[in-house]
Amino acid sequence: MGTEYLIDAKGLHKHFKKVRAVDGVDFSLAKGEYVALLGPNGAGKTTLVEMIEGIRTPDAGEILVRGRSLNEDKSALYGILGISFQETRFLEKITVLETIRLFASFYKQPDEKIGKVIHLVGLEDKKDAYTKNLSGGQRQRLALGISLLNDPEILILDEPTTGLDPSARREIWDILLKLKNKMGTSLILTTHYMEEATQLCDRIIIMDKGRFLAEGSLSSLVGRMKMPDVAFFTVEGKIPDDQVIRQSDLVIEWDREKGRGKCEMKNVATDMPLLFAFLEENNLRLIDFEHTKPSLDDVFLSMTGRRLSEETE
Ligand SMILES: Nc1ncnc2c1ncn2[C@@H]1O[C@H](COP(=O)(O)OP(=O)(O)O)[C@@H](O)[C@H]1O
Ligand SMILES: [Mg+2]
């Protein structure tokens, strides 16, 4: 027996006139898994999740939800999906409590559920506030609370923290991590924040121009690209003309005026001692030192020639 997928989609395409918004992707989601669709604006993230949500019909391909095809029957989705859109409008002149109560009545949820959800998303002290007076982070937590009213097995969140400040973003992450640990919820999250994908998700799919460029855990994505770690450091002392560290292919790029050096390392365990020995032999005293690992942004850059952060911040 292979993995049992909650969602298993094959060969999905969606075109808008000449734009290939989703251009042939296979996507699956296992129970309890948190998956990120990470990509810049226009990558096709929203179009893809809207097909999975049954809101858009694919031009080609098939989506199975627990083994049942969405083409034939959308009812496979009912009751197991919680959705929050890229933007949510609330009725402005009703309160947080009234908003949740309204949605709870759509889902035929009992009253005690309302308090539980308000507690889960941390809006107790805002429950009597009008929705129009909420901050961006509070609005997103309200939207998240609504999507949780029916105890969804699968949560699909489209850019839940875009535009929020770091602390509001972290509050949402904490709620999502709690859901994963306590409820075993599965998550599909779209984002253009690398940190969000790496903090929350077991699997990251890098998406650009309607296609999946790569997928895996952070370490497998970075490892696959075979990109070196980099050491940056500042030294005091007379920098020698010699740049190549003896008996190795390590090269130090110096900014001699500032006393700053940069050295790429393919194997930190063996290369780092060589660097330190070189500094010592040449009587160079370290003032500061930083070791950086390749990031998802570097992976994206090496695959597309663009930076993820360039277009979005
Ligand atoms: N309803 C639509 N009509 C025409 N083009 C669309 C429509 N929705 C999305 N697109 C285009 O499809 C591409 C993917 O968009 P989208 O799925 O919204 O990407 P993302 O969510 O990653 O920003 C973009 O080029 C976008 O302009
Ligand atoms: Mg989008």
Q: Is the pLDDT reported for residue 37 higher than 90?
A: yes
In percent, the amount of the chain with pLDDT more than 90 equals 71
Buried b (16+ CB within 10 A) or exposed e, 121-159: bbbeebbeebbeebeebbbbbbbbbbbbbbebbbbbbbb
Q: Count other Cβ atoms within 10 Å, centred on residue 180.
A: 19
Higher pLDDT, 200 or 110: 200
Q: Tell me what pLDDT residue 190 has.
A: 97
Q: Is the pLDDT reported for residue 174 higher than 50?
A: yes
Q: Count other Cβ atoms within 10 Å, centred on residue 71.
A: 12
- Which token pair is 129? 């506030």
Q: Tell me what pLDDT residue 74 has.
A: 83
Q: Tell me the Ramachandran region of residue 88: left when phi exceeds 0, alpha when psi lies from -120 to 50, beta otherwise.
A: beta
Q: Is the pLDDT reported for residue 120 higher than 50?
A: yes
Question: Using a 6 Å cutoff on CB, does residue 40 contact ligand 1?
Answer: no
| Calpha distance 126→75 (Å, rounded) | 35
Distance 138 CA to ligand 1 centre (A): 27
Per-residue pLDDT tens over the stretch 18-29: 999 999 999 999
Average pLDDT over residues 283-296: 93
Per-residue pLDDT tens over the stretch 220-246: 888 887 888 999 999 999 998 888 888
Question: Using a 6 Å cutoff on CB, does residue 44 contact ligand 1?
Answer: yes
Question: Using a 6 Å cutoff on CB, does residue 46 contact ligand 1?
Answer: yes
Average pLDDT over residues 205-227: 90
Choosing among 3.40.1440, 3.90.930, 3.30.70, 1.10.3470, the CATH entry for 228-293 is 3.30.70
Do domains 5-223 and 228-293 share one topology? The answer is no
Question: Using a 6 Å cutoff on CB, does residue 161 contact ligand 1?
Answer: no
Protein residue with least CA distance to atom 12, ligand 1: 21
Q: Tell me what pLDDT residue 238 has.
A: 93
Protein residue with least CA distance to atom 17, ligand 1: 44
Higher pLDDT, 204 or 295: 204
Q: Tell me what pLDDT residue 243 has.
A: 82
Higher pLDDT, 110 or 313: 110
**Which-ligand-closest: CA of 25?**
1
Average pLDDT over residues 276-302: 91
| Residue where the block lists tokens 């904490």 | 174
Q: Tell me what pLDDT residue 88 has.
A: 81
Protein residue with least CA distance to atom 6, ligand 1: 16
pLDDT band at 313 (very low <50, low <70, confident <90, very high): very low
- What superfamily does domain 5-223 belong to in CATH? P-loop containing nucleotide triphosphate hydrolases (3.40.50.300)
Which ligand 1 atom is the nearest neighbour of the CA of 47?
A: 17
Which ligand 1 atom is the nearest neighbour of the CA of 41?
A: 23
Domain boundaries, the chain: 5-223, 228-293
Question: Using a 6 Å cutoff on CB, does residue 19 contact ligand 1?
Answer: yes
Which ligand 1 atom is the nearest neighbour of the CA of 158?
A: 21
Protein residue with least CA distance to atom 27, ligand 1: 42
Q: Tell me what pLDDT residue 310 has.
A: 61
Q: Tell me what pLDDT residue 312 has.
A: 45
Q: Tell me what pLDDT residue 146 has.
A: 94
In percent, the amount of the chain with pLDDT more than 70 equals 98
Q: Tell me what pLDDT residue 212 has.
A: 97
Distance 269 CA to ligand 2 centre (A): 41
Distance 49 CA to ligand 1 centre (A): 12
- Which token pair is 173? 């992450």
Which ligand 1 atom is the nearest neighbour of the CA of 17?
A: 4
Secondary structure string (H, E, C) spanning the chain:
CCCCEEEEEEEEEEEECCEEEEEEEEEEEECCCEEEEECCCCCCHHHHHHHHCCCCCCCEEEEEECCEECCCCHHHHCCCEEEECCCCCCCCCCEHHHHHHHHHHHCCCCHHHHHHHHHHCCCHHHCCCEHHHCCHHHHHHHHHHHHCCCCCCEEEEECCCCCCCHHHHHHHHHHHHHHHHHHCCEEEEEECCHHHHHHHCCEEEEEECCEEEEEECHHHHHHHCCCCEEEEEEEECCCCCCCECCCCCCEEEEECCCCEEEEEECCHHHHHHHHHHHHHHCCCEEEEEEEECCCHHHHHHHHHCCCHHHHHC
- Kindly report the average pLDDT of the chain as a whole number: 91
Average pLDDT over residues 250-270: 93
| Calpha distance 112→103 (Å, rounded) | 13
Average pLDDT over residues 254-280: 94
Question: Using a 6 Å cutoff on CB, does residue 16 contact ligand 1?
Answer: yes
pTM here is 0.85
